[in-house]
């Protein structure tokens, strides 16, 4: 019965909430681990789970070395599950409600400076794989896409003429984004060769913009691996898709100072999420100040 209700909750998240595969997978892993712990305590029903059970489990994971950010996610998954059970009338109170999450240090996003971005992207591709990889990297940096958003793009998602793309982001929210000139050219180059990846052309051919070498929609893991390989080829430390998204945001904010526009382009529902880039921008300004202001320079005694 414990497993059945977890499965029902996951179906609810997929069908009603329309969460992404990766988010669903995180919920599934978190709740499976929690269920295993509850089984060990010989608790036969979610109705019998107490606040003490949840707190003991969290403390056990903390002692095991789980970091604060992961503990926050774990507690969030458990709370959401019990909220669902309460909404369904299966429990009366949420045993995780009174448990506070451990505070995690606010980490600034890792952003590349413009010189490093140019070193990564300014090259002439050799072969169709590199043509595709350059187009994906240019697109990530040009429009600040999330990894899943890039992989979910279809041919119909982009307009070469309008230099724009329509992206379906978190919560199934749609937003329209501009595509930069260099990214448009890289996508043009890719579209010339895209059909070479399709193994069995027919009316039901793959609609995805970016394909793997089997002619299917490219996976997030493949994009990560290809970007890491591209970084190595360009003599750079490993670059991941999130770094290009963060670089896009910080560079736009540095140039424009328009936080609302950056929020819109990134698809953040809460501007508080976007405001972390103002800290990143302030760090940049502080470095410039320390190097240039007469009263900030260090002098030898």
Q: 301 catalytic, yes or no?
A: no
**170 in active site:** yes
Of 194, 245, 246, 251, which is the active-site residue?
A: 245
* Max CA separation in the chain (angstroms): 77
Instruction: From the candidates 170, 193, 229, 234, give the one annotated as an active-site residue.
Output: 170
33, 182, 234, 242: which is the annotated catalytic residue? 242
Query: Please, where are the H alpha helices in 93-166?
Result: 114-121, 128-143, 147-151
SS3 242: helix
234 is catalytic: no
Which one is catalytic: 132, 134, 251, 268?
268
**Opening angle at CA 190, ends 187 and 196, nearest 5:** 155
Active-site residue identified among 134, 146, 226, 246: 146
Closest CA to 49 of 31, 61, 26: 31
**Dihedral, CA of residue 108, residue 110, residue 114 and residue 116, to nearest 10:** 160
The DSSP symbol for 159 reads E
146 is catalytic: yes
Q: Is position 29 annotated as part of the catalytic site?
A: no
Distance CA 175, CA 267 (A): 7
Per annotation, catalytic residue among 277, 284, 298, 301: 277
Is 277 among the catalytic positions? yes
Active site residues: 146, 170, 242, 245, 268, 277
């Amino acid at each position: 019965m414990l497993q059945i209700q977890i499965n029902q909750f996951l179906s609810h998240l997929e069908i009603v909430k329309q969460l992404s595969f990766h988010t669903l997978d995180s919920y599934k892993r978190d709740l499976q681990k929690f269920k295993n712990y509850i089984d060990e305590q010989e608790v036969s029903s979610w109705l019998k789970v107490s606040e003490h059970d949840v707190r003991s489990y969290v403390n056990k994971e903390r002692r095991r070395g789980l970091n604060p950010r992961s503990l926050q996610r774990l507690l969030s998954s458990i709370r959401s599950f019990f909220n669902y059970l309460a909404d369904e009338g299966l429990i009366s109170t949420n045993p995780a409600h009174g448990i506070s999450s451990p505070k995690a240090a606010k980490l600034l996003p890792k952003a590349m400076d413009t010189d490093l971005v140019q070193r990564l992207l300014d090259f002439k591709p050799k072969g169709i794989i590199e043509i595709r990889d350059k187009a994906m990297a240019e697109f990530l940096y040009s429009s600040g896409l999330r990894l899943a958003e890039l992989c979910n793009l279809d041919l119909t998602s982009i307009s070469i003429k309008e230099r724009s793309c329509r992206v379906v982001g978190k919560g199934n929210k749609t937003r329209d984004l501009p595509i930069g000139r260099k990214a448009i050219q890289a996508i043009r180059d890719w579209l010339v060769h895209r059909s070479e990846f399709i193994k069995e052309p027919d009316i039901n051919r793959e609609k995805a913009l970016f394909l793997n070498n089997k002619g299917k929609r490219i996976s997030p893991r493949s994009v990560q691996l290809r970007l890491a390989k591209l970084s190595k080829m360009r003599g750079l430390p490993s670059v991941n898709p999130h770094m290009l998204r963060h670089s896009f945001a910080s560079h736009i904010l540095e140039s424009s100072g328009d936080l609302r526009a950056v929020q819109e382009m990134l698809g953040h529902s809460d501007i508080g999420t976007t405001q972390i880039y103002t800290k990143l921008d302030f760090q940049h300004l502080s470095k410039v100040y320390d190097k240039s202001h007469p009263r900030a320079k260090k002098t030898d005694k």
